Structure 1
Amino acid sequence: MKEDFLHYLWKFKKFDVLNLKTFTGEAITISNVGQYLALAGPDFFNAQITIGNQKWAGNVEIHLKSSDWYVHHHERDTGYENVILHVVWEHDTEIFRSNNTEIPVLELKHYVDAVTVANYQSLLTPKSWIFCEKELKDTDEFVLKNWQERLFFERLERKSKPIFDLLAATNQDWEAVLFQLLAKNFGLNSNGEIFMTIAQSIPFSVIRKESFEVENLEALLLGTAGLLDLEKEDTYFKDLKFRYFYMVHKFQLETKTVAPVQFFKHRPDNFPTIRLSQLANVYHREQNLFSKICSLNSLDEMYALFQVSASNYWQNHYQFDKESPKKKKVLSQSFIDLLIINTIIPIQFAYARSIGKEIIEDLIPLLRAIKPEKNAVVDKFSSFGIKPQSAFETQSMLQLKNEYCNKSKCLSCAIGLALVKNN
């Protein structure tokens, strides 16, 4: 048993509140359980309780055992002087304030229904993947749908934090932040951090100035990635290399060494050469990309904005000096979907927040119109009976798994709470 179960019981009064008594036999009446504080200090602040004939207002501290008070060294902390009730599962020692008055104790195990305890223990029994995997498919649809909206909102808030961190590092340059985020997402999982480092190594003012020549943008990106370091006979390679070192000298750029980009295990269409060329073409075609993205209201507009392909050279190449069958390497709809999910919607949300607007209700329909993502987490949820119909649901699933299931926060989860209550 964990303390968070006792927090749940107290917060929602999931025990026999009509017949409560302290360990010494005084009647307890709860007028207000107090405000739950997930911070340092007592667990519930400003509770209102009558013990015997005396009304009290103060804090409630909760432990599995009374002796945990000393294990956590609360006797040394003046912040616990206002505790009016010590709620425990098992009382094993008396607790005193600094003035030697004893703190009343409620031993909760005598007042909790056995079924509630059994449901909790069943939920927390280790399973192969997550605690509630066997019960997931029976989750009430109303509970699930409402919880998904909350999870999606939490995920957007989590994604917005690094955006604001990047803004602080770029003197509030939204265009520069967008460039870095797009670069990361063009790199997918294996090259994402490397692509972001590349984008951060090039002042965005240089991207702005050179965006009218796509070859210059390609040279900057490929050169910073280290893909122009070797000697090759290819004419296009030589041209890009000349352009790159000319711009390094012109703008006094640092030739930082980044980690090698990865070709291994990638399908050719995801080779870093192709993705960096496509990114260069996005910025060649759209000089004010951030303002355009913030004005987008529909998926069709988003798809149209990213209808770009790699440069002509790459139509019959995947690497320098190695010719391949001709193929126009455009951004696929599934790839643009990833950009929408991981870049466009988070940055729209963050920008709206920065100017005091809430647009969550506008963003949910967009995600509902995008096909569900494919990844190991989504596949696992599907195998346990929760089959997503859209990217909105898969984003909620990722938040659920990462922030609740992986951290065993079942009693902070609407699904876990419903199972403990109704199982």
Structure 2
Amino acid sequence: MKEDFLHYVWQYQLFDKSNLKCTDGSVLSVLKTGTHNTNSGPDFINARISLNEILWAGQVEIHIKSSDWNSHKHNNDVAYDNVVLHVVWEENQLIERTDKSMIPTLELKNIVSTDLVSQYKGLVDNSENIACRSFIGEATELNKISMLDNALARRLNSKTEFIKERLAATNFDWEEVAYQILGKNYGFKLNADAFLHLAEVLPLKILQKHRGNLFQIEALCFGQAGFLEEIKEEYQTKLKEEYTFLAKKYGIESKKVNKQEWRFLRTRPSNFPTLRIAQFASLINSTPSIFSFFKDNVDPKFLSITLSNPPSEYWQEHYDFGKKSAKKNKGLGISSVYNVLINTGVNLLAAYSDATNNRIFFEQAVEVLEHLKPEDNHITRKWADLGIEINSAFDSQALIEQYNNYCCLKKCLSCSIGVAYLKN
């Protein structure tokens, strides 16, 4: 038994309400279940009940066993003094508020259908990663759409948490945060942390002073990234000379990244951090404002063209210092461009929407996703095999979130399809 099941049972009142009584014999009528509280405090707020025909308004707290009230220290927390009903699967101990007054308790174990419990256990004990795979084809289109909408909203909300942390650390400098998020994104999975470190020790305001001079921006980026310690060829020597002068000017040399932080193993040359830094430098050089670039443009085609701009002439022919590539490099590939649009552009828009309480930017983020092709990976293919249509990055992002953070964790009661299945 899990609390989320009891939350579900209470929210939808899925128990026998005939002759409903609390454990102390009080006659109970539920007039309003209350609103599910996802923040700290009691589980359901603004509930209304009747006890022996006396009306009560307040909060409802839910536990597996009544003794959990004391285990969770609610008996010493005044935030729980307004709880008017304690809903438990099993009452094994009398509980009270901070003022020692008793709290009415509703015990569920004998009034919830055994069939409902069996169905729930069948879901959460299912060995399949997608527990509903055997009946998802019977789900209504409305429930499928609801699953996607809710999953995407949760994904965007979770992604904005990191951006909020960055904002707090930069005194709410959106431009600097956009630069840091973009840098982290250019590192992709393998070098994300190293790239973020580089963005932290090489402030954007320094690079912007040299916009229009790609060589100087490259010198600052490669020098601060630690790639100018071991000289392999003349181009590297020139970069180091420029970096030495600029690093002294800005007093940043002591903060540079250790070269050992960068990862080359199990990486194709097109994903080498050296080439990614060159591509990143090119974008910084050609873009007056990183934040405005993503905030003010909704056309994925324009965004893609800008993001795929080629690096400097040297890096069009190399993937590392002293190592020539077989073909001329033209910048980020389309899959990498889409990755940046999703993980930088869309997430920045969602965070800005939340910060300004302006729905327009959230809708703009959704619009970008709806115009991008869906990701093709082992997770999206699992859903496609079940007949779920995946038409855009909106769908694929939602399904990735649903699979990783809900299906695999058996959070079926946070999904419209799981809820509908049990209600039926």
The verdict on a shared fold, with TM-score over 0.5 as the criterion, is yes
Q: Deviations over 1:61-86 (max 9, x none)?
A: 33333444444454455555554433
Matched letter for residue 307 of structure 1: S
Pairs within 5 Å for 1:11-160: 11-23=11-23, 25-77=25-77, 79-95=79-95, 103-160=103-160
Change (3 A) 1:35 1:208: same
Residue 357 in structure 1 maps to residue 353 in structure 2:
no
Question: How far apart, CA to CA, are the structure 2 residues paired with 1:56 and 1:354?
Answer: 37
Deviation at 1:231, TM superposition (A): 2.6
Residue 178 in structure 1 maps to residue 183 in structure 2:
no
- SS of 1:86's partner is strand
Question: How far apart, CA to CA, are the structure 2 residues paired with 1:274 and 1:101?
Answer: 68
Deviation at 1:264, TM superposition (A): 1.3
Question: How far apart, CA to CA, are the structure 2 residues paired with 1:326 and 1:100?
Answer: 78
Structure 1 partner of 2:203: 203
Structure 2 partner of 1:370: 372
Q: Out of 397, 409, 412, which is 2:411 matched to?
A: 409
Change (3 A) 1:229 1:133: farther
Deviation at 1:206, TM superposition (A): 1.4
Question: How far apart, CA to CA, are the structure 1 residues paired with 2:72 and 2:353?
Answer: 43
Please tell me whether the aligned partners of residues 377 and 398 of structure 1 are also in contact (alpha carbons under 8 angstroms).
yes
Matched letter for residue 189 of structure 1: K
- SS of 1:123's partner is helix
Structure 1 partner of 2:2: 2
Please tell me whether the aligned partners of residues 151 and 399 of structure 1 are also in contact (alpha carbons under 8 angstroms).
yes
Q: Deviations over 1:301-344 (max 9, x none)?
A: 21222231122112332222233434133222221111110111
Question: How far apart, CA to CA, are the structure 1 residues paired with 2:328 and 2:320?
Answer: 14
RMSD: 2.7
Deviation at 1:41, TM superposition (A): 4.6
Pairs within 5 Å for 1:261-272: 261-272=262-273
Question: How far apart, CA to CA, are the structure 2 residues paired with 1:24 and 1:181?
Answer: 57
Q: Deviations over 1:189-221 (max 9, x none)?
A: 101111111111112221011222111111111
Pairs within 5 Å for 1:216-227: 216-227=216-227
- SS of 1:110's partner is coil
Question: How far apart, CA to CA, are the structure 1 residues paired with 2:274 and 2:21?
Answer: 72
Among all aligned residue pairs of Structure 1 and Structure 2, give the percentage whose two residues are the same amino acid.
38
- SS of 2:50's partner is strand
Pairs within 5 Å for 1:322-401: 322-359=323-360, 360-386=362-388, 388-401=390-403
Moved more, 239-248 or 173-182: 173-182
Matched letter for residue 390 of structure 1: S
Matched letter for residue 302 of structure 1: L
Question: How far apart, CA to CA, are the structure 1 residues paired with 2:287 and 2:296?
Answer: 14
Please tell me whether the aligned partners of residues 225 and 260 of structure 1 are also in contact (alpha carbons under 8 angstroms).
no
Any stretches of 5+ residues in structure 2 without a counterpart?
none
Question: How far apart, CA to CA, are the structure 2 residues paired with 1:136 and 1:225?
Answer: 49
Question: How far apart, CA to CA, are the structure 2 residues paired with 1:98 and 1:178?
Answer: 47
Question: How far apart, CA to CA, are the structure 1 residues paired with 2:70 and 2:324?
Answer: 73
Question: How far apart, CA to CA, are the structure 1 residues paired with 2:126 and 2:178?
Answer: 42
Question: How far apart, CA to CA, are the structure 2 residues paired with 1:364 and 1:76?
Answer: 44
Aligned residues: 421
Q: Deviations over 1:78-110 (max 9, x none)?
A: 555554433332344444668877544333233
Deviation at 1:226, TM superposition (A): 1.6
Please tell me whether the aligned partners of residues 221 and 276 of structure 1 are also in contact (alpha carbons under 8 angstroms).
yes
Moved more, 40-49 or 368-377: 40-49
Question: How far apart, CA to CA, are the structure 1 residues paired with 2:95 and 2:357?
Answer: 48
**Length-normalised TM-score, structure 2:** 0.89
Please tell me whether the aligned partners of residues 314 and 329 of structure 1 are also in contact (alpha carbons under 8 angstroms).
no
Moved more, 188-197 or 22-31: 22-31
Matched letter for residue 124 of structure 1: V
**Length-normalised TM-score, structure 1:** 0.89
Please tell me whether the aligned partners of residues 275 and 310 of structure 1 are also in contact (alpha carbons under 8 angstroms).
no
Please tell me whether the aligned partners of residues 47 and 59 of structure 2 are also in contact (alpha carbons under 8 angstroms).
yes
Any stretches of 5+ residues in structure 1 without a counterpart?
none
Change (3 A) 1:288 1:103: closer
Change (3 A) 1:278 1:404: same
